[in-house]
């Protein structure tokens, strides 16, 4: 079948949505389907036969300037019609989602929609005032868009529960975004490579490395992580915190680390190329995260596939991912982080056990292939109706 994936976020923008769309496109193509990605233009974009880009206006808000918006025009709708799509799959509610929905209505094409982003968590990028009305508006708009689709996919139970709270009543599917698990396996890396990579980062042989990998933005609660890391590092010279990723608040976090007196134990990489991401897991001992704004949290799965146990703040998206005492621990109160860290750090047998279990427990269902097969089943059943 011919499938159109509509997304406002795509390479060179690095995000969970980008990875989800790229993975789905690649795996559906492997299964013999024609996949076309319809997205926005970008100054650094690369072009290929299966990607259609429409130029738009750069968002003016700090932290969102890499994204574009544009008008949905008759010419764009007709362009989509000429693709002869069997399925339109929207991965955004905005410019490209609206274009997909309008083309679907115009040419009678079935629409599947995946809801990726909890927009109320990002209102602070737009304004510091009138937040409550904007939160209400974002929930209404998200529900309205989902109501207009023929089938809706949520990546986790957390997102479905949020939509239940919005008043959404239609049937839906829970399908986690898949990742290429094998790409993160330790067996893909040679010991000499580890040693060289650690030296490049300034990590010593006996250092114990905590890793946070993600967007450096305040909704990720990196400030809370830094405050608790200070307690961890105060009597331990060999503990380091590795922050991997770029974002609007990276310098703020660096300054905060210096204020807290742990700047010398902080390693910040900034944005890294996708092919290098797996290496940062391999030189780390424990994956840490204080954020509760993730819709799925692909980095949790990547860490486990890499054999790195978790110590993260609990959120509904961790259901079926973290198994306390088996592949890590979760906490609900920030003050519980330190006791749990001590439990792991001071018990070598426990640390060895949860590290060994990390890459073995309950992650095969998150494979890229399973992701595509599950979405394809939604397409097939929709086309039968």
Over 80: is that where the pLDDT of 189 sits? Answer: yes
Over 60: is that where the pLDDT of 284 sits? Answer: yes
| CB 148, CB 111: distance < 8 Å | yes
Q: Helices 157-166 and 131-147: crossing angle, nearest 10°?
A: 100
Place of tokens 């330790």: 186
Cα–Cα distance, 246 to 295 (Å, whole number): 19
| CB 180, CB 372: distance < 8 Å | no
Confidence (pLDDT) at 49: 84
* Strand pairing category for 173-174 and 151-154: parallel
Token pair recorded at residue 192: 């000499």
User: Residue 344 — very low, low, confident or very high, per pLDDT cuts 50/70/90?
Assistant: very high
Q: What is the mean pLDDT of the chain?
A: 91
- In the chain, residues under CATH classification 3.40.50.2000 are 2-178+367-384, 181-364
Confidence (pLDDT) at 124: 52
pLDDT in tens, 81-111: 999 999 999 999 999 999 999 999 999 999 9
Nearest to 370 by CA among 180, 164, 158: 180
Q: Rg of the Cα trace of the chain?
A: 21
What is the mean pLDDT of the segment spanning 129-145? 80
What is the mean pLDDT of the segment spanning 353-378? 90
Token pair recorded at residue 150: 């023929």
pLDDT in tens, 34-70: 999 999 988 777 778 899 999 877 654 555 556 667 7
Cα–Cα distance, 277 to 25 (Å, whole number): 21
pLDDT in tens, 286-331: 999 999 988 778 899 999 999 999 999 999 888 889 999 999 999 9
Confidence (pLDDT) at 206: 94
User: Residue 362 — very low, low, confident or very high, per pLDDT cuts 50/70/90?
Assistant: low
What is the mean pLDDT of the segment spanning 169-176? 94
Q: How many CB atoms lie within 10 A of CB 59?
A: 16
| CB 4, CB 25: distance < 8 Å | no
| CB 183, CB 369: distance < 8 Å | no
Query: Which top CATH class is 181-364?
Result: alpha beta
Confidence (pLDDT) at 68: 64
User: Residue 128 — very low, low, confident or very high, per pLDDT cuts 50/70/90?
Assistant: low
pLDDT in tens, 220-237: 999 999 999 999 999 899
Confidence (pLDDT) at 60: 47
Confidence (pLDDT) at 261: 97
Query: Which top CATH class is 2-178+367-384?
Result: alpha beta
Cα–Cα distance, 91 to 115 (Å, whole number): 6
The winner for highest mean pLDDT among 155-164, 339-348, 360-369 is 339-348
Cα–Cα distance, 251 to 266 (Å, whole number): 12
Cα–Cα distance, 167 to 171 (Å, whole number): 12
Nearest to 179 by CA among 367, 307, 374: 367
């Amino acid at each position: 079948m011919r499938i159109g994936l509509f997304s406002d976020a795509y390479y060179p923008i690095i995000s969970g949505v980008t990875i989800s769309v790229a993975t789905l496109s690649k795996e559906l193509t492997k299964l013999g389907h024609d996949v076309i990605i319809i997205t926005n233009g970008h100054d650094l974009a690369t072009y290929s036969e299966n990607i259609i880009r429409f130029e738009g206006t750069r968002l003016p808000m700090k932290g969102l300037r890499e994204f574009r918006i544009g008008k949905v025009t008759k010419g764009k709708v007709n362009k989509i019609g000429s693709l002869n799509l069997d399925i339109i799959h929207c991965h955004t509610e905005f410019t490209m989602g609206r274009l997909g929905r309008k083309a679907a209505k115009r040419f009678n094409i079935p629409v599947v929609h995946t809801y990726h982003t909890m927009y109320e968590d990002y209102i602070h990028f737009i304004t510091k005032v009138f937040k409550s009305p904007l939160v209400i508006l974002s929930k209404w708009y998200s529900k309205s868009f989902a109501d207009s689709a023929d089938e809706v996919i949520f990546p986790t139970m957390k997102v479905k529960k949020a939509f239940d709270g919005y008043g959404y009543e239609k049937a839906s599917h829970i399908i986690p975004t898949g990742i290429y698990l094998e790409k993160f396996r330790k067996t893909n890396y040679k010991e000499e490579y580890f040693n060289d990579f650690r030296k490049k980062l300034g990590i010593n042989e006996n250092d114990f490395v905590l890793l946070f990998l993600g967007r450096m933005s305040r909704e990720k609660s990196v400030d809370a992580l830094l405050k608790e890391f200070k307690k961890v590092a105060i009597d331990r010279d060999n503990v380091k915190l590795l922050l991997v990723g770029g974002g609007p608040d990276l310098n703020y976090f660096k300054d905060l680390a210096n204020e807290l007196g742990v700047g010398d134990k902080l390693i910040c990489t900034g944005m890294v190329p996708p092919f290098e991401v797996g290496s940062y897991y391999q030189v780390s001992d424990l994956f840490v995260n204080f954020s509760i704004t993730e819709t799925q949290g692909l980095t949790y799965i990547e860490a486990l596939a890499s054999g790195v146990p978790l110590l993260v703040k609990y959120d509904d998206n961790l259901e079926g991912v973290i198994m306390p005492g088996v592949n890590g621990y979760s906490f609900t109160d920030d003050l519980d982080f330190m006791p749990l860290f001590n439990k792991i750090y001071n018990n070598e047998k426990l640390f060895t056990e949860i590290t060994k279990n990390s890459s073995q427990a309950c992650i095969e269902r998150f494979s890229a292939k399973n992701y595509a097969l599950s979405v394809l089943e939604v397409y097939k059943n929709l086309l039968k109706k």
